[in-house]
Amino acid sequence: MWPPLLLVMLFLQVWLRPIKALFEQCNHQVKMQSGQKLLINSPYYPALYPVGTSCRYAVEAPKDQVLQFKCELQLQTLSTDLKCRSEVFHFNSEGDEVLTSSEYFCGSGKFERKSFLNRAVISYISNGQPEPPPTTASSVKLKDKLSGVSTTEAPQNVSIEEQDEEAEEEEEEEQYQEPEQEETEESEDLSDEVLHVLQDVGVSDALAYVASLLYDDVEESRKSSTAIYLKHHLPSQRSSKTSAKRVRIVSNYPLAPAAGGGRFTCLVEAIQPTCSCGWSRYPLSRIASPDNEEAMLHEFPSMAGVLTKKQGKVFCGAAIIHHHYLLSAAHCFLGPETRNAAQLRVVVGEHDLASSFETFATRRYDLDALILHEQFSQANGQPRNDIALLRTRSPIVWSRHVGPACLPLQPAEDGRKLPLAGDQVVAAGWGTTSYGGPQTTRLLKTTLDVIDGQVCRQTLASSSTGVPTHTFCTYTPGRDTCQYDSGGALYERINGRLVAVGIVSFGQACATQLPSVNTRVASFIKWIRSKSPEVAYCPGRI
């Protein structure tokens, strides 16, 4: 019997091979700089791209920026083609080059989209059949003025006028060398017949008008634009089924009387997002749960486990808040095997600790610093100022499945610090399911009620523990955090974002009649900022 991982890899290789081959003749990687604008046009724009071709453009902005797309499509789609099978345009907001996760369009019209993070992919596939070759022999030569590249970065300090002058000089030189050649087409206006001739004679270095790059100068009086031409092989003819999750037929213009070919233009801009934290695929109804239950896969993108390099076992939780920083509890790092950052690492994107097959998002990052609160103390089982920052050696890479939680940088409307009594928070972790019981391998979650601080102090007054300052209490009958859940975040969903309002600190056993005590993150915002001054954290209320 085949091992599960080998079966998965074999499936991916077989399934991804047609996708790779689909764009092997026209596949571009374009890197943008902050504030730049990119105009991506289909091959031979404003003429139609050849029938039966396909092209893909992967665009990347600087880290922590997003891409804004404004596209206009004019695809020759028949009114009867409601599933966009003949001419289709794909948009993938997550930068995934696999078509199954893309949104797709056909017909004619306009749309606007933003990338999820700093990468997005657009592509088109034409499944139409090209016209038969002409019976008479023909030959066409296109002037190729600029060399092609597969990865493009925006040039600096190059004006459109300089490029035009160079183009004119090259054109005059070519005309002088080949006076017998006559130009029969208007500039940038190739007809369908010419494209078919190019396919027939096998021109491999045909000039395709792919992208022109516009950038704004710092001084408004010196605004200019720069054009980049990518030389690539003429897309090969092929037929392929499209598989995507959504379809949009844009019909601002009449649909084409006959199928085949099309054109598009997309203005792309790299912009600074208003906020990038606390994302989750699941709505509030999926977060709240009546009992301790298994979390959905990647339900908590900021969830991390802390483990020792020697044992490889998760002993505490943590919450990602930045590419290099995670929040956890200071009391987790008092033992001889856990007090040294060089001995520790964190695991992100994980779900089942006993399996390597349920997710490809799992990554491990070594720590290079443990920053415990200077006034942390632990006496009579009462940790005070129980908070720590973990700093990773290399940056944690964001994806749909891995990303930072928001911090409660803004108070409630009445000025009080979150969370408030009566709120519900959600805890997640790989802790034990009962006091002294076995540790779960799958990420579990539970919803807990925040109770009034005075009630909590009165309840714990007769016990050996008390309620330190800068904490809040949670109590829900039959539900609780437990051993090895310490350091994990307690989340409150605010305006659709997961905000780390608490850190699991301590309690009396698990799910007893007594409340548990948690560190209030809002009370330590100044401390967090002072220990990571280079970071601009995103507010939780937006």
Q: Which residues of 68-79 are buried (b: 16+ CB within 10 A; e: fewer)?
A: bbebbbbbbbbe
Q: Calculate the CA 300 to chain-centre distance.
A: 14
3-state helix, strand, coil in the chain (%, to 5): 15, 30, 50
Active site residue 251: no
Active site residue 462: no
Of 81, 386, 480, 485, which one is the catalytic site residue? 386
Of 331, 351, 373, 401, which one is the catalytic site residue? 331
Question: Phi and psi (nearest 5°) for 46?
Answer: -85, 0
> 520 forms bridges with which residues in the sheet?
502
Q: SS3 letters for 198-249?
A: HHHHCCCCCCCCCEEEEECCCCHHHCEEEEECCCCCCCCCCCCCCCCCEEEE
How far, in Å, CA of 150 to CA of 309, rounded? 40
Active site residue 486: yes
Burial tier of 296 (Cβ tally within 10 Å: 0-12, 13-18, 19+): middle
Pairing of strands 262-271, 66-75: antiparallel
Structure tokens of 453? Answer: 């601080």
How far, in Å, CA of 83 to CA of 101, rounded? 16
How far, in Å, CA of 126 to CA of 259, rounded? 10
Question: Phi and psi (nearest 5°) for 167?
Answer: -65, -40
Of 42, 115, 486, 505, which one is the catalytic site residue? 486
Place of tokens 């494209």: 195
Are 362 and 348 in contact by the 8 Å Cβ rule? The answer is: yes
Q: Which residues form the catalytic set?
A: 331, 386, 486
